[in-house]
Amino acid sequence: MIQTDHSFKIIISQLNSAQDSISSFFDSGLPNEHRKDLKKWRHFVINDEQYNGRHGAAHVVTQYEENVQLIEAAHTLLKYQQALSTFVIVNEADIIREKTEWDFFPTNLSKHTLLNPFQVMKKVFKKITIKQYKDLLHEWLYMALSNKAAGETLTPKDVIVVYDNLRLLYAATWLIHQRQINFKINLDNQ
């Protein structure tokens, strides 16, 4: 019994940490703002230009750190998807309501993945591990801060797949983040 209680506390701690990371990510901007930053970051990865944003190199370092934390958090949520599915998986009526109530609603997901954003996470982690994402994003960071293009060390596939998957991950984690907030509010009101 003690082992079960301890295991349960570890799971709760991991979920709380993942949810805190996702909340922090979206506290710094809506998904469309993160997509703009990602696109700019990618530009400096694939071109022979050094990152020169108005906030300096610290901004791209922050992007790197936030994206790594988001990937780790998403992977944790995916690991416990069965327990979370109660408030994450919705029906079509919920989607209609969400589109009108939320400040942002993703347009880059299929109807199936809007209903169940865990499907996006499964796709994102199907061929690329967390460690590979970290390594690739670290290389992105290095390329963006140097004046060398990624073609020297990263394949086009490395850039395209990571870019596309991060855009999908922003949308899926946003859905989970928003639905979690609504779920907590509903529990508090009962």
Q: Where are the domains positioned within the chain?
A: 2-188
Comparing CA positions, the residue from 28, 90, 71 lying closest to residue 173 is 71
Give pLDDT, residue 86.
Answer: 82
Q: Where are the alpha helices (H) located in 80-129, listed in sequence order?
A: 81-88, 92-101, 111-115, 118-124
Model confidence at 44: pLDDT above 50:
yes
Q: What percent of the chain has pLDDT over 70?
A: 90
What is the value of pTM for the model shown? 0.90
Residue type, 11: I
Token pair recorded at residue 170: 């922003």
Give pLDDT, residue 190.
Answer: 42
Task: Note the pLDDT tens digit of each residue in 85-125.
Answer: 887 889 999 999 999 999 999 999 999 999 999 999 999 99
Give pLDDT, residue 138.
Answer: 96
Tell me the mean pLDDT in the region 143-170. Answer: 89
Residue 62 CA to its chain's centroid (Å): 14
What is d(CA 125, CA 16) in angstroms, rounded to the nearest whole number? 21
What is d(CA 73, CA 164) in angstroms, rounded to the nearest whole number? 18
CA–CA–CA angle 163, 51, 147 (5° rounding): 100
Give pLDDT, residue 11.
Answer: 83
Task: Give the DSSP letter of residue 87.
Answer: H
Q: What is the mean pLDDT of the chain?
A: 88
Match 């949308």 to its residue by tokens. Answer: 171
At residue 4 the predicted structure's pLDDT band, cuts being 50, 70 and 90, is low
What is d(CA 180, CA 73) in angstroms, rounded to the nearest whole number? 14
Residue type, 27: D
At residue 181 the predicted structure's pLDDT band, cuts being 50, 70 and 90, is low
Residue 77 CA to its chain's centroid (Å): 11
Sequence-distant (6+) residues with CB within 8 A of 3 are none
At residue 42 the predicted structure's pLDDT band, cuts being 50, 70 and 90, is very high
